[in-house]
């Protein structure tokens, strides 16, 4: 599926197993930061101990089910214990990993 002209779904599917407000705590029972580092090809490996990740994760938003529709959620920062603070609320349930490519962005202009 395609949520916008800039993002497409990756094949990997997962489940948010623990979340609190805007904090994504666990994906498939693992620290959220570790999973996001894997799906982004190691983009936040140097931030797993904490720090901002907006720039590194801008091309890898999440599609989270919210009130019967999918909503894009972007990661803001890695915080304590591998939790990821997001720009919007995160709920337990299915999550799709999205990606964009530079060619998608420039081709859309």
For the chain, the structural domain boundaries read 8-108
Which residues pair with residue 62 across a beta bridge? 73, 97
| pTM (predicted TM-score) | 0.85
Rg over CA atoms, the chain? 13
pLDDT tens digits in sequence order for the chain, 109 residues long: 445 567 777 888 899 999 999 999 999 999 999 999 999 999 999 999 999 999 999 999 999 887 888 888 999 999 999 999 999 999 999 998 988 865 555 555 5
The whole-angstrom separation of Cα 89 and Cα 71 is 10
Burial class of residue 6 (count of CB atoms within 10 Å of its CB; 0-12, 13-18, 19+): middle
């Amino acid at each position: 599926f395609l949520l916008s002209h800039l993002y497409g779904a990756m094949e990997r599917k997962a489940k948010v197993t623990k979340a609190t407000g805007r904090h994504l705590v666990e994906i498939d029972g693992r620290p959220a930061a570790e999973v996001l580092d894997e799906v982004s090809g190691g983009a936040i490996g140097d931030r797993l101990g904490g720090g901002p990740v907006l720039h590194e994760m801008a091309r890898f938003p999440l599609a989270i089910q919210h009130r019967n529709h999918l909503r894009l959620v972007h990661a803001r920062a890695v915080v304590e214990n591998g939790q990821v603070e997001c720009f919007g609320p995160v709920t337990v349930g299915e999550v799709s990993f999205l990606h964009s490519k530079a060619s998608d962005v420039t081709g859309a202009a």
